[in-house]
Amino acid sequence: MAATTVRATRRTRLGAKVLALVATATLTVGAPSWASAPAPAPAREDAPAPRTSPFTGLTADQGPVLAVKFDNARGARPHTGLDQADIVYVEKVEGGMSRLMGVYSSKYPRAVGPVRSARESDVELLRQFGRPALAYSGVRSALQKTLRDSPLYARPHGRVPGAYFREGGRAAPHNLFLRPKALLRSAPKADRPNDIGFRFGAAPQGGTRADVRTVRYASASHSFRWSPREGRWLASFDGAPARSTAGAQLGARTIVIQHVTMRPSRFKDVNGAVTPYIETVGSGKATVLRDGKAYATRWKRSAATGGTTFTRPNGEPMPFAPGQVWMVFADR
């Protein structure tokens, strides 16, 4: 009688274990791939609580916002640390060339670069982040007061030289690099992330199939080709794959082509070429690339201190795919 009771108890315990395994498998099936990632290590007591990033839609510790101006001349490539930015901006500069700006908060690479100069319209663009830190190599003397008086933590190479270094394997001026954490120590009160208008979620109905989209300036081109295998848009600059120093091709799950007014500013470069002023306050057309489709949208930003909303023709918000977002400014 006792032996029978023991065997029954063992069968009951075994059945409970099987049911638990089945329940676990049921919860996992159909969940997004990132939901089944290994459990994170226990958080440090002094670490900030993880939360969803308003810049990427992913969960991560959110540090102070740091914007870095990147060189994008042919001699500046490949880029270091750009693949780890939350947001990448593509901007037109003098002579129809382009510069990039990476915005960081979720993680800070050990080094980023090459770093180049800032522009007047960067102040307007960055106001939506509150008071972030801005890293850049320098500016024309006429623009120094504008940046110094702006509501940003302007941290050029000359002000925080210890945060920058020269890379020996590159020729000047494409050899200036930045240590993000060292620079942020000089701006301890830089704001943390806030809502800048991005919305993340499943792809909506509609859109048109798209294999590649290209934005051209007078002296630069930027192409984004959909890769079904990688599930993201792969970037190319001037017809060549845009790569990180680790060798991987740059790109993102969401590319936003935002049509804006780029009028002449009151500044010129050393060669006398007029610097474009990119107007990011206002409204206009945009195309959102995600999941192999192009979605016609409208953008609106009412004030420099506010974010930008992207809406579909029916007035509903246009959701982005979670992950890094590229914002590419194009002429109207």
In tens digits, what is the pLDDT along the chain, a chain of 332 residues?
Answer: 444 443 444 444 434 443 333 333 332 333 333 233 333 344 344 445 559 999 999 999 999 999 999 999 999 999 999 999 999 999 999 999 999 999 999 999 999 999 999 999 999 999 999 999 999 998 877 788 888 889 999 999 999 999 999 999 899 999 999 999 999 999 999 999 999 999 999 999 999 999 999 999 999 999 999 999 999 999 999 999 999 999 999 999 999 999 999 999 888 777 778 999 999 999 999 999 999 999 999 999 999 999 999 999 999 999 999 999 999 999 99
**CA atoms of 260 and 273, how far apart (whole Å):** 20
Q: What is the DSSP string of 263-281?
A: EEEEEE-TTSPEEEEEE-S
Whose tokens are 């800070």? That residue is: 108
Q: In the numeric block, which tokens belong to residue 128?
A: 């939506």
Burial class (CB in 10 A: 0-12, 13-18, 19+), 216: middle
| ∠ CA 224-230-236, rounded to 5° | 25
β pairing state of 87-92 and 325-331: parallel
**CA atoms of 135 and 124, how far apart (whole Å):** 16
Please report the pLDDT score of residue 12 as a whole number. 41
**CA atoms of 245 and 260, how far apart (whole Å):** 31
Please report the pLDDT score of residue 50 as a whole number. 59
Q: Is the peptide bond before 78 cis (omega within 30 degrees of 0)?
A: yes
**CA atoms of 16 and 22, how far apart (whole Å):** 10
Q: In the numeric block, which tokens belong to residue 59?
A: 């969960």
Number of H helices and E strands in the chain, helices first, is 4, 21
Count of beta carbons in the 10 Å neighbourhood of residue 273 = 13
**CA atoms of 218 and 17, how far apart (whole Å):** 66
Please report the pLDDT score of residue 140 as a whole number. 76
Q: Which of 60, 101, 79, 108 is nearest to 323 (CA)?
A: 60
Give SS3 for 39. Answer: coil
Please report the pLDDT score of residue 14 as a whole number. 38
Give SS3 for 80. Answer: strand
275 touches 265 (CB < 8 A): yes
